[in-house]
Amino acid sequence: MNYLLLILGAAIFSFGVLGALTLRNAIRILMCIELMLNGANLTFIATASQLPDPGLAQSMVVFAIAIAASETIVGLGAIVAMYRAKGWVTLEQFSLLKW
Amino acid sequence: MNFASFYPEMVLLVGACIILLLSVFKFALRKYVLGLLAILTVVISFIVMQAVPGIREPAGNLFVQNDFSNFARGLLLVISVPILISSLDMFNDASKRQGEFVFLMLISVTGLMLLVQSSHMLSLYLGIELSSIPLYMLAGLKSHNPKSKEAVVKYFLLGAFASAMTIYGISLIYTTAGTFSFVELFNNIKGTPLEMAGFIFVLAGLSFKIAAVPFHFWAPDVYEGSPPISTAFISVAPKIGALIVLSRFISMGINPAASDNFANLVKWSIAAISALSMTYGNLTAIWQTEVKRIMAYSSIAQIGYMLIGIVVIAFSPEAVIRSEGARGILMYVTAYALMNIAVFSVIKVVEARRGGTTLNHFKGLSKTDPGLALAMTVSLVSLLGIPFAAGFFGKLLIFTAGVSAGLYWLVVLAVINSAISAFYYFGIVKNMYFEAPDQECLRTETKPGFSFAYLVAVICSVLTLVIGLLPWIYQLIAKASESL
């Protein structure tokens, strides 16, 4: 098992979680979520390289990247719509609904 | 891979794309034409699912098709019809949004139909994402409402966070089990710490989709901020998908004999989520004054009851008790879908006529809108589980399954919680029947015209009363749950 890569994946995922939970800017949270996804992808690749049949996990990574891209598009669209309406995207200023 | 098995999903996809293309053009009665086309697509998809031969053949490693998954697919198609009908109220005729709503909803239904058949982590992840990305947009479709914008950003950020957790959980399970397929996981899960952490992450992601404690915090805000018809869909459809796939994952993928640690973790984590959800949901709902928020907390409590079925499946290896649990889930989910669609259709009409949905806006509804008040009462009574509405039979099946599996503490807790929920359900009923209308709220009342949501509310509440008394639905559910 390629422990170094697994640990790197876990570290990237943890940074993403930490950032997503502590940061207050919607765009930055979005970037942290991307980090979380990439941590998962790295874990897939690290495991797949040790297995006789790596194809399945690698195809999972391709799917995950494609899905992450489409998710980001939707998210940025929502954030831009909110920015146009209000002029800010930080979560402290969410006033109409309690966070 | 047998592609004939996926004709219903293909019909939905093609129909959705045609509707999106048509919605670009301006023509007379565009809103109604698009809505009708969408309903037609759903009906054709349903007929194809029932009629085309060869459709129930196994479809490779990624998906499993049996009576259980087919019941869920059928249910998803059936519940999308009333939502499509009441969506005709949402937009005025000049707006392009009707086509967008229909498109997003059909895509989401497609994703959920794939999700309920999935027997593989890849199809599970794809199903979750294909169903939830359109849901984020559905939450924000009423663009002029500032609350809607906040709701969609919140829903999106938390939802993306949850699905990132899901995929990291899948990758952790994969590191030591080395496989994605549920059937192979049955033999390959050894109960290593990595696998246990992975299961917790996957469960966290799925709990987010069903809004169970401790991943419920998006639900009240999103339910309040989104347009009510979108909320009806958001509150019903993903729950069906996630519950079905969770019960399949546990019945197919977890070997109770292989590892005590892992099996115990699965049992007790789901039991804890179930107990916490119903208690937290009910205790918080009592203090709310906004009916949408009450319904959000009520749905958190309802998901707690539904999870008892999954706990039954996790606790008992015997196939008979497992199918009893599955029967409870299917009946409850069917009843819950009808009741929630009725309630949110009523909320939609009240919001349109009285300009808001706090308890004050519901005061004296029986005087100005007796039919609406009656539909709301029937649905609330059914959510509470009073005989002989559909919700009663759902609760009955779930609780008997819990007793057969020996989960007395959970069933007792659920019964106590049902009693607590009477406070806030009857609180709404009391406001509708025994209070004078609030003049402040009546001032904004518009002239009552014909409303599709009204129609849907009446039909769904009548169905709520009827469906528990139809014997064929029990035969259908019994047949479906045997093939869990």
Q: How far apart are CA B175 and CA B135, in angstroms?
A: 31
Three-state DSSP class for residue A90 = strand
Q: Write down the pTM of the prediction.
A: 0.94
> Which two three-digit tokens encode residue B288?
């709310």
Residues of chain A contacting residue B126, judged by C-beta atoms under 8 Å apart: 63, 67
Taking CA atoms, what residue in B is nearest to A92? Answer: B150
Give the one of B156, B161, B167 whose C-beta lies nearest to A78's C-beta: B156
Residue B290 DSSP SS3: strand
Contact B405, B316 (CB under 8 A): yes
Q: Are B153 and A26 in contact (CB < 8 Å)?
A: yes
| B438 close to A (CB below 8 A) | no
Distance CA B329, CA B478 (A): 11
ipTM for the complex shown = 0.94
Q: Which of B150, B287, B306, B152 is nearest to B236 (CA)?
A: B306
The answer to whether the Cβ–Cβ distance between A47 and B174 falls below 8 Å is yes
Smallest CA–CA distance, residue A43 to chain B, in Å, is 6
Greatest mean pLDDT among A1-5, A86-90, B402-406 lies in B402-406
Could you read off the pLDDT of A9-23 as tens digits, one per residue? 999 999 999 998 888
pLDDT for the residue numbered B114: 93
Are A43 and B152 a contacting pair at CB < 8 A? no
Residue B398 or A93, more confident:
B398
Q: How far apart are CA B480 and CA B330, in angstroms?
A: 9
Contact check, Cβ <8 Å, A40/B161: no
Does residue A93 surpass a pLDDT of 80?
Answer: no
Extract the residue ranges of chain B whose pLDDT is less than 50: none
Architecture (CATH level 2) of domain A3-93: Orthogonal Bundle (1.10)
- Distance between CA B241 and CA B28 in Å, rounded? 37
- Does residue A98 have a pLDDT over 50? no
A8 touches chain B (CB under 8 A): no
A55 pLDDT band, cuts 50/70/90, is confident
pLDDT of residue B376: 94
